[in-house]
Amino acid sequence: MKWKSRDVISILDFTREDLETLFHEALEIERRPEKYSRALEGKLVGLAFFEPSTRTYLSFDAAVKRMGGNTIGFTQETSTSIAKGESFADTVRTLDLYVDCLVIRHPLEGSSRFASEIARSPVINAGDGSQHHPTQTFVDFYALWRRFGYISGLVIGVLGDLRYSRAASSFILGLTLYRPRKLYLISPPLLRLREEVRAYLAASGLAFEEIDRLEDVMHELDVLYVTRVQRERFPDPGEYEKVRGSYRVDGRVLAKAKAEAVLMHPLPRVEELTYEVDRAPQAYYFKQASYGVPVRMALLKLVLLGESS
C-alpha cells in the first residue's frame, strides 16, 4: 500500500514490504542526514499527548525538527480545554484544522482509530491504552534489522507485562509478519497475553510458548524484549501489588545469555531491569531508543511526502 497520507494505527495495518520501505528510508536518513534537513519545511505536525511520554514525544518532536518542519501540541490535557469539559472528538477536530499530521497518545483503546475517522489529516497512533503502539514496533524491528539484518529465524523471548503493555502486544503481533524460529512469552500467570492477541497469534501459525521462568530459556534466546509492569493500567491496585517485582533481569540472569544476544526494552524501566546490566555487551536498549529519531523521520517523510520524493 502507498505510504502517503496513510493513518498509522496498528502494526497489523502494514505488510512486511511496507516495513522494508520504512527501514531503507530510515537507513538512508541515518547515512545522509544533511540531505533531509529541509525535507519537511513548511509542514506542521500536531503532537497531542494525553499520557506521559519521554522517548516517543521527544523523538517525534526531534524527527520533525531535524527535517526542518515544526510541531505544536500539548503533553498534558490539563493545559487544554478538556479541563473545561471539551470532548476528545472536538479537541482532535480542532488540532486537525491547524496541522498536516496528528500524532496522538491516549489512555483509551481505540482512541487513535476513532481520531482517524474524524480527522482530515493522517493520524499516527503513539500509544492507545494497552492496545497498540505501532511506531514503537517500527523502532524495535528496525533495531533488530540493523543488528542482525533479518528478523525471521531469530529465537525471541518477550518478558513481562504481556497483558497491559502495548509495546509488548504490538511487538508480538508484528512478529506474525515474520517467521521467528521460536517465540517465548514469559510472564507470571496474572500478566499473560490478552485473549485477542493469543487468538491472533495462534491463527497466524507462529510457534509460541507461554512460560513463567526466564531462566529456563535464557541460553536459547537471540533477543530478550523486556517490559515493565504497567502499574497505571491495573483496575485494582491490589492486583498490581501481587505481581510487582515478580521478574527482574540482572547480571546473574544475563550470565546465562548467548554473547551475541540482544537485550531490548522500550523504556522506561523501573525495577525489572537493573542498572548493572547496562555494562553488559547484550544491553541494546539505549541504541534501540536512539533509532526512534531516524525511524520516525522516515515515517513522517513517507506519510507527509510519499515514497519517491
| CA separation, residue 49 to residues 104, 131, 193, 197 (Å) | 6, 16, 26, 25
Of residues 55 and 147, the one with the C-beta less far from ligand NCD: 55
Asked if 2 and 31 count as a contact pair (C-beta separation under 8 A), the reply is no
For 233, how many CA atoms within 13 A lie in the half-sphere containing its CB? 20
For 127, how many CA atoms within 13 A lie in the half-sphere containing its CB? 25
Q: What's the min distance (Å) between Cβ of 161 and ligand NCD?
A: 8
What distance in Å separates the CA atoms of residue 300 and residue 257, rounded to the nearest whole number?
A: 36
Q: What's the min distance (Å) between Cβ of 255 and ligand NCD?
A: 25
| CA separation, residue 169 to residues 161, 173, 225, 268 (Å) | 9, 6, 11, 16
Q: What's the min distance (Å) between Cβ of 169 and ligand NCD?
A: 10
DSSP state, residue 149 = S
Residues that bind ligand NCD (CB under 6 A): 55-56, 127, 133, 136, 165-167, 227-228, 266-268
From first CA to last CA, the distance across the chain in angstroms is: 17
Q: What's the min distance (Å) between Cβ of 130 and ligand NCD?
A: 9
Of residues 36 and 164, the one with the C-beta less far from ligand NCD: 164
Asked if 115 and 103 count as a contact pair (C-beta separation under 8 A), the reply is no
Give the three cell numbers for residue 11: 502494526
Q: What's the min distance (Å) between Cβ of 37 and ligand NCD?
A: 26
* Residue of closest CB approach to ligand NCD: 266
Of residues 121 and 131, the one with the C-beta less far from ligand NCD: 131
What distance in Å separates the CA atoms of residue 297 and residue 33, rounded to the nearest whole number?
A: 10
Q: What's the min distance (Å) between Cβ of 227 and ligand NCD?
A: 6
Asked if 70 and 45 count as a contact pair (C-beta separation under 8 A), the reply is yes
Give the three cell numbers for residue 212: 513463567
Of residues 6 and 166, the one with the C-beta less far from ligand NCD: 166
Of residues 43 and 137, the one with the C-beta less far from ligand NCD: 137
Q: What's the min distance (Å) between Cβ of 267 and ligand NCD?
A: 5
Of residues 58 and 206, the one with the C-beta less far from ligand NCD: 58
What distance in Å separates the CA atoms of residue 236 and residue 200, rounded to the nearest whole number?
A: 27
Of residues 109 and 220, the one with the C-beta less far from ligand NCD: 109
Closest CA to 269 of 197, 129, 167: 167
